[in-house]
Structure 1
Amino acid sequence: MYLNCHTYYSLRYGTIAIPQLVEKAVSLGVKQLAITDINLTSGVFDFVKECQKNDIKPIVGVEFRNDDELLFVCLAKNHDGFAEINRFLSKHKLQHLPFPETAPKFRDVFTIYPFKKKHLAKPHDWIGVGISEVNKLWQYPDKLKQIVILQPVTFFDKVGYNTHRLLRAIDKNILLSKLNPDSQADINETFLTPDYLHTIFKDFPAIIDNTNSLLEECNFIFNFSSNKNKLLFTNSKFDDLRLLENLTLTGYKYRYTDNPAVLERISKELIVISQLDFSAYFLLAHDIIQFAKSKGYFHVGRGSGANSIVAYCIGITDVDPIELDLYFERFINPHRTSPPDFDLDFSWDERNDIISYIFEKYGEDYVCLLATYVTFKQRSAYRELAKVFGLPKHEIDALINPEGSDYANVTADSLGEWGHLIIKYGNLIQDFPNYLSIHAGGILISDKPLYYYTGLNPVPKGFPICEFDMYVAEEIGFAKFDILSQRGLGHIKECVDIVKQQRNIDIDIHAIQAFKQDENLKQQLRNYETMGCFYIESPAMRQLIWKLRCDNYLTLVAASSIIRPGVASSGMMRAYIERYHNPNSFDYIHPKMKELLSETFGIMVYQEDVIKVAHYFAGLSLAEADILRRGMSGKFRSKSEFLKIENTFFTNCKNLGYDESITKEVWRQIESFSGYSFSKAHSASYAVESYQSLYLKTYYPLEFMVAVINNFGGFYKTEFYLHEARRYGAHIEAPALNYSGYMTRLEEKTIWIGWIHVKSLEKKVVDLMLAQQGIKPFQSFEDFYRRVPISLEQIIILIRLGAFRFLDKKKKNLLWQAHHRHTQGKKKGQSSAYLFEVKEETLELPHLDYHDIEDIYDTVELLGFYLEPPFSVLRNPIEIPTRAKDFPLHLHKTITILGYLVNVKFTRTSTQERMAFGYFIDEDGAYFDTVQFPKILKQYPFQGAGIYLLKGKVTEEFGHFALQIVSMEKQHLAFDPRYF
């Protein structure tokens, strides 16, 4: 009877979550139910699973519309019919075509036309009639054999109807009062009882029979547990396994010397991989990596895939699982509740090439990007509803963010009825899907055409996305590939290229084992000289390395994990540092914990630690431990599932005789991981890339800093990477004609900042300059004018920047020349460029005052940063001898120091008060840290970038010195003499 049900996956239209829809059907005794969301199939598999749990036969389909116009409803007779619907849906979406008035002649699909379009129905089609159209049926006795009940379900009640209308107004971006009746559903589109529908259609039993007959013919049978990935890389499973074995053994010879234990581990892994039909998945990942290598692209294989020695041997990762005692079972085992996947990172500017290769090699019908649902969050829901109700912007802003508004008196109560409606309906639509977006990097490679599982949608990147997210993908049997991008790999690749070009040195950046033993790298870590290095450059990470006195790979792996918010905020990071330095100074909470966690001093640092504790300490099964793992990494959807595991944990611990206080403390540590935990393999992968960066910075610091700057990544602004390069001996030059390129470049020890950093300078001007510069250097101001057509505004930018400083002429004189040249050109009706050389004109100019500070302010305005910290241009210079290097001499004393702000991180105390950690440069160019507790931060807030006079007490923790601020005052810079 229910052929046309909308869920909230009918975006900004439907109001019903899938569990609510099925629950309602169960309460009414419904045994067959169809989901037909508008132009989308996102809810299909959640719907099927929910129906199967409740003994309801699921029927799947799509309601096709062009804007608000209902065209027809399609229901799949079987899985092939679902594929037909998806192929039809995808064709029109991907080609941006409107749907036709009539559906094609499907083979395994029922098409139902609304009653008002009955004239379009072919003999093999159906005509749908709603309860409001029954009285018209007497006029069409010849059509009765084609008619079925088409009673849409869009909401349950009046509140649902109101919610629907608000969603439609949001979708149209109009006031609710302007909503057209044609843009919204009829008020009767509720879940009517079967008895009521039978009563309405009692005079037309044939229609009831037709409807039931149609439902009976539809059977969507789906196996959630089968592997949906591409199953074969070669022609057979046997050949796949043989190829994987050969690749692994070849890689073994490169990675290891003869080692029977390693060979035994390889053999065990290959058996499991074969048993779980994962050979092709490994080979696909290997193929992607080989393509990247053929193009000279770098990659990092990270995540739980690094637990596999097979992955290490065939080059998917550079993490040695033997060295780190990584469990293969963390990646793949028969008890996992979800498929594993490989995370493959590529440089930000190469990722699209990798994705294009995958689509081209494995076929566009078999490859797609994963989707993610962007949902209505509380604030966004309130904002959208406030717009629909017509509130002015200042009231909307005040309602959403009262702390940051000048209208603090605006509250939901002060807005009266409108305010209460916004809160009420905002809470109702919270977490409703709003639109589909792209998952950060997930790609599916399917064994069958993707239309058997999903429709495909176009996105601006040019690659189609499916219509479900990673959770659904996992539940239906897909193991995704995460093809991700990051700037850190761009740093590494460009640095290697610069070294090759300028020094003719080939760097094997994958020689990680050698890097780990390099004494110079160890010293670089001991000196916490990590700025620019992937993942270990932030002030917080630098502090942690300092406190741990880290100088080796294994400690860096641990640091990469304990810096995560869950471990840090729970107090376990501090405990780890204390125990690291004093391993005999503490007692394990339980002997079993010593057995399981001696490597990490009794503290759970990695996901693997939690799995071990859950399984061996609390007696959870491996399957239950895997659910716990997913829960703490934020990759589960069912809170009830997680609560069940929690109950099992406490029950098991009680049965095992543990003291309740011990159980609670162990669970507290587990809970602190929620949403933030790393697998050990993931931390190890990060540490590998950190070591690659560290190697380059240690031996090629200037090349490395140029690479960091040119890839626009990293924790800091360009200004501070230039400062870091200066610390390593570089001479920094602003962009200049004849020397600078579009990107920043290195010439011996001089770094020429690239034109890309100059604000308001047009790309076409830069291209013309560089093209002419490539022919021959510019000789004079007139020579430049002859060869580069340029506007007065653009030439002024170049002059003020000092781009003509090779001419040894004052900027103000050049500005006079530029204005004169353009004025003369306009008078003569000619451009500023000449076909033939003309004699350079000499202007007699009066003496023009000039101050060095003018150049500094011009540079800041045009580049957006200082070429060096501006201590020299303080309005009221202060002679303060204290520097960061003096902190150890003044421990526990109050000192004063000048600092140029690099970065500030705000956080919350345990009582939710705001505090801050500052990071500054002193007058010698050295870095130092500050801490501002809540009371001081309120009294002396940060006032943006600049130089601060800082007064505070020098503190020390595990050898790391910092300044606990007592007072802080931002210093004024000297006035620009041109304006005063």
Structure 2
Amino acid sequence: MFHELHTRSAFSFLSSGSMPQMLIGRAAALGIPSVALLDRDTVAGAVRFHFEAKEHGIKPIIGAEITMDDGTLLPLVPMNLKGYRNLSRLITTVKLRHKKGEHFATRKDIEQHSADLLCFTGGVDGFMASSIRNGCGQADLAWLNYVFERRLYVELQRHYLRSEEDINLRLLGLAHKLHVPVFASNGAYYADEADRELFDVFTCIKNHCTIYNAGKLLSQNSERYLKSEKQMRTLFEDHPDAIDRTSEIAARVDFSMDELSYNFPDYKVPPGETTDSVLRAKAIERSVERYRHCPWPLRSQVMSRLEKEFRVIEMKQLGGYFLMVSDILDFCRDHKILSQGRGSAANSVVCYALGITAVEPIANKLLFERFLSETYEQYPDIDIDLPSGDDREKVIQHVYNKYGMRGAGMTANVICYRGKSALREVGKTFGFDDEMLGQLSKINSHYETFRDEELNRRLKEKGFDPADSFKLQKFSEMYSRILDYPRHLGQHSGGMVVSLDRLDGIVPIEPA
């Protein structure tokens, strides 16, 4: 069986022509049993890829192409959970050390994070191809072989390019000399041949040029699509073992995204205490003050309601979570920062007693079970509203100081192409001038996005009839296809994640 062990998705940001789901859909149609997603310096598309693969009965393999200090790429694939954590921490290390978009890994970085990772030599943009062109092929393959021991594989790709075949011949010679096993891949940048056009549009956007002056930046052909086993065996009929070895490599990967789990951070408590005992004491003590001026019929119900909530909180092991949220609100009060918990947390007397929420639940007949119950499997949601600006930043820095720069992080947003941004960027790729771009951008409002036939109708209304111009037809097509594709990662305005273990063992962390 052939397993495709090297693909890229649109989450390589302007370096692929297909979404992760499209790669899986194509693999399912071809009967490929497992596919590896190796996006550039990120695992941002891994979750979508993972769930789509599971739905189609395909084994998802997650890895990444790591940018080296010479601009080349080194593909790495985790064999197990430890390997994934090493990969995530490697990406974090190189990104936090540099300005956004200027990161690279050194050989020392690779050596320090190599445990339980498989390493591939990659394609023409890979580390080894560059080493061969620079006359350092044997020395660099020997270095990789030393670092990764029996976890290094020489990768062969064939896209009917003479220069690529020259690299393959040299790689085969070095592999034989150093006893490194060889496998075949198509290094897919997109799912179908037709996606090559969109890939070229992204290439132009990334390099700030048009399709007319991009020259050799554009793809030389349309061969970097996901191919069937029959196609790959024909392509590598002189090396059938390279196809067969993909099964061996896929079998070595024993990691699934399902293994990643989130744990609430530890809340430090005095010796002899537990988070449950500290939460109980703090909530009871503060409830006395919160209910001091309430009538007795209400006060008489407080302890029984607290005990009921304590029992569920202890059963769910959420004592540390409540204390952590309470700590953030205490920090806000101590520093006179306006803050307020909201949402279903208002149904909890514990939250009210701790000062997390302002609405008294008993008198207002609010059900605790709407917030947290024995049968409720999801984590409780306690939202905290904070003012923007310096006050919010003080709270964020307090969380970083308490839980560490690698134990907490702001949530990232995937910024996708929408109407106006897509119109302008695709328009620039087709060489439209500023005046025309301005007219085109008026087709979409901030609230509506048009595509396909509706877009063509509106273009015609503006005096740009796609029926009269092949250029406008392709513009309309590429614009419609690029919508909702990821453009880059942005920072969420307020979401923050705090973890028990180092957060960079679950997901890479990078500068905003």
With normalisation by structure 1, the TM-score equals: 0.44
User: Is the contact made by 1:14 and 1:164 (CA closer than 8 Å) also made in structure 2?
Assistant: yes
- Residue 4 of structure 1 and its aligned partner are, at CA, apart by 1.4
3-state SS of 2:385 partner: strand
Aligned counterpart, 1:111: 119
Aligned counterpart, 1:350: 391
| Structure 1 pair 337–199 and aligned structure 2 pair: CA distance change class (3 A) | farther
Pairs within 5 Å for 1:212-611: 212-223=247-258, 226-230=261-265, 232-234=267-269, 239-256=274-291, 257=294, 258=296, 259-333=299-373, 336=376, 338-348=378-388, 349-402=390-443, 409-413=462-466, 416-459=469-512
User: Is the contact made by 2:81 and 2:259 (CA closer than 8 Å) also made in structure 1?
Assistant: no
Alpha-carbon distance in 2 for matches of 1:338, 1:195:
45
Alpha-carbon distance in 1 for matches of 2:110, 2:328:
38
User: Is the contact made by 2:406 and 2:509 (CA closer than 8 Å) also made in structure 1?
Assistant: no
- Residue 344 of structure 1 and its aligned partner are, at CA, apart by 1.5
Matched AA of 1:99: F
User: Is the contact made by 1:131 and 1:200 (CA closer than 8 Å) also made in structure 2?
Assistant: yes
RMSD of aligned alpha carbons: 2.9
Pairs within 5 Å for 1:21-170: 21-65=23-67, 69-96=71-98, 98-100=103-105, 102=107, 104-105=110-111, 106-114=114-122, 116=129, 117=131, 119=137, 120-121=140-141, 122-123=144-145, 124=149, 125-132=152-159, 133=164, 137=168, 140-144=172-176, 145-170=180-205
| Structure 1 pair 408–230 and aligned structure 2 pair: CA distance change class (3 A) | same
Alpha-carbon distance in 2 for matches of 1:390, 1:171:
15
Alpha-carbon distance in 1 for matches of 2:220, 2:106:
20
Matched AA of 1:166: V
User: Is the contact made by 1:369 and 1:441 (CA closer than 8 Å) also made in structure 2?
Assistant: yes
| Structure 1 pair 32–156 and aligned structure 2 pair: CA distance change class (3 A) | closer
| Structure 1 pair 186–334 and aligned structure 2 pair: CA distance change class (3 A) | farther
Q: Deviations over 1:665-717 (max 9, x none)?
A: xxxxxxxxxxxxxxxxxxxxxxxxxxxxxxxxxxxxxxxxxxxxxxxxxxxxx
Q: Deviations over 1:201-242 (max 9, x none)?
A: 333244334433222111113447954332555489971111
- Residue 445 of structure 1 and its aligned partner are, at CA, apart by 0.6
User: Is the contact made by 1:84 and 1:451 (CA closer than 8 Å) also made in structure 2?
Assistant: no
Alpha-carbon distance in 2 for matches of 1:334, 1:173:
56
Matched AA of 1:388: T
| Structure 1 pair 224–209 and aligned structure 2 pair: CA distance change class (3 A) | closer
4+ runs deviating over 6 angstroms = 235-238
Matched AA of 1:302: R
Q: Deviations over 1:597-636 (max 9, x none)?
A: xxxxxxxxxxxxxxxxxxxxxxxxxxxxxxxxxxxxxxxx
Matched AA of 2:53: C
- Residue 101 of structure 1 and its aligned partner are, at CA, apart by 6.5
Alpha-carbon distance in 2 for matches of 1:169, 1:236:
61
3-state SS of 1:190 partner: coil
Higher mean C-alpha deviation, range 158-167 or range 334-343:
334-343
Alpha-carbon distance in 2 for matches of 1:265, 1:304:
16
User: Is the contact made by 1:168 and 1:183 (CA closer than 8 Å) also made in structure 2?
Assistant: yes
| Structure 1 pair 113–138 and aligned structure 2 pair: CA distance change class (3 A) | closer
Matched AA of 1:14: S
Pairs within 5 Å for 1:752-831: none
Matched AA of 1:321: P
User: Is the contact made by 1:89 and 1:455 (CA closer than 8 Å) also made in structure 2?
Assistant: yes
Select which of 196, 205, 225 maps to 1:190: 225
3-state SS of 1:297 partner: coil
- Residue 415 of structure 1 and its aligned partner are, at CA, apart by 7.0
| Structure 1 pair 301–32 and aligned structure 2 pair: CA distance change class (3 A) | same
- Residue 451 of structure 1 and its aligned partner are, at CA, apart by 2.2
User: Is the contact made by 2:340 and 2:384 (CA closer than 8 Å) also made in structure 1?
Assistant: yes
- Residue 277 of structure 1 and its aligned partner are, at CA, apart by 2.3
- Residue 324 of structure 1 and its aligned partner are, at CA, apart by 2.6
3-state SS of 2:212 partner: helix
% identical equivalent positions: 23
Alpha-carbon distance in 2 for matches of 1:237, 1:389:
69
- Residue 315 of structure 1 and its aligned partner are, at CA, apart by 1.0
The structure whose RCO (Cα within 8 Å, separation 6+) is larger is: 2
User: Is the contact made by 2:210 and 2:431 (CA closer than 8 Å) also made in structure 1?
Assistant: yes
Alpha-carbon distance in 2 for matches of 1:226, 1:275:
19
Q: Deviations over 1:335-375 (max 9, x none)?
A: 55753332222333311111111111111111000011111
- Residue 138 of structure 1 and its aligned partner are, at CA, apart by 5.3
| Structure 1 pair 109–306 and aligned structure 2 pair: CA distance change class (3 A) | same
Higher mean C-alpha deviation, range 394-403 or range 72-81:
394-403
What is the aligned residue count? 458
- Residue 107 of structure 1 and its aligned partner are, at CA, apart by 1.0
Aligned counterpart, 1:605: none
Bigger radius of gyration: 1
Alpha-carbon distance in 2 for matches of 1:5, 1:160:
14
User: Is the contact made by 1:230 and 1:445 (CA closer than 8 Å) also made in structure 2?
Assistant: yes
Matched AA of 2:187: P
